[in-house]
Protein backbone atom coordinates (compact mmCIF):
# COMPACT_ATOMS: atom_id res chain seq x y z
CA UNK A 1 0.00 0.00 0.00
CA UNK A 2 2.80 2.43 0.86
CA UNK A 3 4.34 2.03 -2.61
CA UNK A 4 1.01 2.89 -4.21
CA UNK A 5 0.67 5.97 -1.99
CA UNK A 6 4.17 7.12 -2.95
CA UNK A 7 3.21 6.78 -6.62
CA UNK A 8 0.02 8.78 -6.07
CA UNK A 9 1.92 11.51 -4.24
CA UNK A 10 4.65 11.69 -6.87
CA UNK A 11 2.07 11.90 -9.66
CA UNK A 12 0.26 14.75 -7.92
CA UNK A 13 3.41 16.70 -7.06
CA UNK A 14 4.69 16.35 -10.64
CA UNK A 15 1.74 18.51 -11.71
CA UNK A 16 3.41 21.37 -9.82
CA UNK A 17 0.79 22.25 -7.22
CA UNK A 18 1.70 25.11 -4.90
CA UNK A 19 3.11 24.24 -1.48
CA UNK A 20 -0.22 24.45 0.36
CA UNK A 21 -2.01 22.34 -2.24
CA UNK A 22 0.76 19.75 -2.20
CA UNK A 23 0.95 19.42 1.60
CA UNK A 24 -2.86 19.37 1.90
CA UNK A 25 -3.10 16.63 -0.72
CA UNK A 26 -0.65 14.45 1.21
CA UNK A 27 -2.41 14.98 4.55
CA UNK A 28 -5.80 14.18 3.04
CA UNK A 29 -4.54 11.11 1.16
CA UNK A 30 -2.67 9.58 4.10
CA UNK A 31 -5.50 10.28 6.52
CA UNK A 32 -8.05 8.70 4.19
CA UNK A 33 -6.06 5.66 3.05
CA UNK A 34 -4.13 4.59 6.13
CA UNK A 35 -6.65 3.69 8.77
CA UNK A 36 -4.29 3.99 11.73
CA UNK A 37 -3.24 7.54 10.72
CA UNK A 38 -5.89 9.30 12.83
CA UNK A 39 -4.43 12.79 12.50
CA UNK A 40 -1.92 13.90 9.85
CA UNK A 41 -0.35 17.35 9.76
CA UNK A 42 2.65 19.32 8.54
CA UNK A 43 4.33 21.81 10.84
CA UNK A 44 6.89 24.21 9.33
CA UNK A 45 9.61 26.16 11.14
CA UNK A 46 8.74 29.82 11.61
CA UNK A 47 11.10 32.30 9.93
CA UNK A 48 10.67 34.77 12.82
CA UNK A 49 11.27 32.70 15.93
CA UNK A 50 12.12 29.18 17.09
CA UNK A 51 8.67 27.71 16.83
CA UNK A 52 6.67 25.33 14.66
CA UNK A 53 3.63 26.60 12.81
CA UNK A 54 0.88 24.23 11.67
CA UNK A 55 0.69 24.48 7.86
CA UNK A 56 -2.04 21.98 7.04
CA UNK A 57 -3.70 18.94 8.60
CA UNK A 58 -6.47 16.34 8.36
CA UNK A 59 -8.27 15.10 11.45
CA UNK A 60 -9.67 16.82 14.50
CA UNK A 61 -8.79 20.53 14.79
CA UNK A 62 -6.03 21.24 17.31
CA UNK A 63 -5.37 24.34 19.38
CA UNK A 64 -1.63 23.63 19.07
CA UNK A 65 -1.02 25.58 15.88
CA UNK A 66 2.22 27.12 17.25
CA UNK A 67 4.69 24.95 19.21
CA UNK A 68 7.96 26.35 20.62
CA UNK A 69 11.13 24.39 19.72
CA UNK A 70 11.82 21.91 22.51
CA UNK A 71 8.22 21.52 23.62
CA UNK A 72 6.30 18.30 23.06
CA UNK A 73 7.25 15.54 20.67
CA UNK A 74 7.14 17.96 17.75
CA UNK A 75 9.29 20.59 19.43
CA UNK A 76 11.89 17.96 20.34
CA UNK A 77 12.17 16.85 16.70
CA UNK A 78 12.69 20.49 15.67
CA UNK A 79 15.92 20.36 17.71
CA UNK A 80 17.03 16.72 17.28
CA UNK A 81 16.43 16.49 13.50
CA UNK A 82 15.65 12.80 14.10
CA UNK A 83 12.55 10.66 13.63
CA UNK A 84 10.61 10.20 16.87
CA UNK A 85 8.27 7.23 17.35
CA UNK A 86 6.28 7.26 20.59
CA UNK A 87 4.51 3.99 21.45
CA UNK A 88 2.64 5.41 24.44
CA UNK A 89 2.24 9.17 24.64
CA UNK A 90 1.07 8.94 28.26
CA UNK A 91 4.50 7.62 29.25
CA UNK A 92 6.19 10.76 27.82
CA UNK A 93 6.89 13.68 30.12
CA UNK A 94 7.49 16.19 27.34
CA UNK A 95 4.28 15.68 25.39
CA UNK A 96 1.52 18.05 24.30
CA UNK A 97 -1.88 16.36 24.34
CA UNK A 98 -4.24 17.25 21.51
CA UNK A 99 -6.93 14.68 22.22
CA UNK A 100 -7.45 11.98 24.82
CA UNK A 101 -8.02 9.49 21.99
CA UNK A 102 -4.40 9.75 20.90
CA UNK A 103 -2.23 6.91 22.20
CA UNK A 104 0.85 6.98 19.96
CA UNK A 105 2.62 9.37 17.63
CA UNK A 106 5.27 9.53 14.92
CA UNK A 107 7.13 12.64 13.80
CA UNK A 108 9.54 12.65 10.83
CA UNK A 109 11.55 15.80 10.04
CA UNK A 110 11.36 17.47 6.64
CA UNK A 111 14.93 17.96 5.46
CA UNK A 112 15.56 20.38 2.60
CA UNK A 113 19.16 20.92 1.44
CA UNK A 114 20.42 19.32 4.64
CA UNK A 115 18.34 21.59 6.87
CA UNK A 116 15.40 20.61 9.08
CA UNK A 117 12.64 22.99 8.02
CA UNK A 118 9.52 21.24 9.34
CA UNK A 119 7.96 17.87 9.98
CA UNK A 120 5.12 15.52 9.30
CA UNK A 121 3.28 14.63 12.52
CA UNK A 122 0.91 11.66 12.75
CA UNK A 123 -1.21 10.56 15.71
CA UNK A 124 -2.69 7.10 16.28
CA UNK A 125 -5.54 5.91 18.45
CA UNK A 126 -3.81 2.58 19.27
CA UNK A 127 -0.78 2.01 21.48
CA UNK A 128 2.35 1.46 19.36
CA UNK A 129 0.57 2.15 16.07
CA UNK A 130 3.79 3.09 14.26
CA UNK A 131 6.98 1.25 13.39
CA UNK A 132 10.10 1.46 11.23
CA UNK A 133 8.06 0.87 8.06
CA UNK A 134 6.04 3.99 8.77
CA UNK A 135 9.22 5.95 9.44
CA UNK A 136 10.85 4.85 6.21
CA UNK A 137 7.63 5.50 4.25
CA UNK A 138 7.29 9.00 5.72
CA UNK A 139 10.96 9.74 5.01
CA UNK A 140 10.23 8.93 1.35
CA UNK A 141 7.12 11.14 1.41
CA UNK A 142 9.20 13.97 2.83
CA UNK A 143 11.90 13.47 0.20
CA UNK A 144 9.23 13.99 -2.47
CA UNK A 145 8.00 17.08 -0.61
CA UNK A 146 11.53 18.49 -0.42
CA UNK A 147 12.09 17.81 -4.12
CA UNK A 148 8.82 19.21 -5.48
CA UNK A 149 7.54 21.81 -3.00
CA UNK A 150 10.64 23.58 -1.62
N1 LIG B 1 1.39 15.78 20.35
C2 LIG B 1 2.23 16.78 19.76
C3 LIG B 1 1.48 18.07 19.57
C4 LIG B 1 0.86 18.19 18.24
S5 LIG B 1 -0.57 17.30 18.10
O6 LIG B 1 -0.24 15.86 18.11
C7 LIG B 1 -1.40 17.68 16.74
C8 LIG B 1 3.47 16.99 20.59
O9 LIG B 1 3.60 16.47 21.70
O10 LIG B 1 4.34 17.72 20.13
Q: Is there an atom of ligand 1 within 6 Å of 84 CB?
A: no
Name the β-bridge partners of 84. 107
Quick one: residue 59, left, alpha or beta (phi over 0 = left, psi -120 to 50 = alpha)?
left
Q: What predicted TM-score, i.e. pTM, was given to this entire model?
A: 0.98
- Residue closest via CA to ligand 1's atom 1 equals 96
Q: Is there an atom of ligand 1 within 6 Å of 58 CB?
A: no
Specify the pLDDT at position 28: 98
Specify the pLDDT at position 41: 98
Give residue-wise pLDDT tens across range 4-26. Answer: 999 999 999 999 999 999 999 99
**Residue 118: pLDDT band with limits 50, 70, 90:** very high
Architecture of the domain delimited by 2-149: 2-Layer Sandwich (3.30)
Q: What is residue 78's three-state secondary structure?
A: helix
Q: Which H or E run includes 4? A: helix 2-14
Q: Is there an atom of ligand 1 within 6 Å of 54 CB?
A: no
What's the CA-to-centroid distance between 95 and ligand 1, angstroms? Answer: 7
What's the CA-to-centroid distance between 23 and ligand 1, angstroms? Answer: 18
Give residue-wise pLDDT tens across range 27-53. Answer: 999 999 999 999 999 999 999 999 999
Cβ contacts of 58-63, under 8 Å, gap ≥ 24: 58/27, 58/28, 58/30, 58/31, 58/32, 59/31, 59/123, 60/98, 60/99, 62/98, 62/99, 63/98
Amino acid sequence: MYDQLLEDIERFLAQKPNRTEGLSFICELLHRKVEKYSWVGYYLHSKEKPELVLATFQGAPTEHTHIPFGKGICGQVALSNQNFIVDDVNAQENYIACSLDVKSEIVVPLIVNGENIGQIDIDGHAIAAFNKNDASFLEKVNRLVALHLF
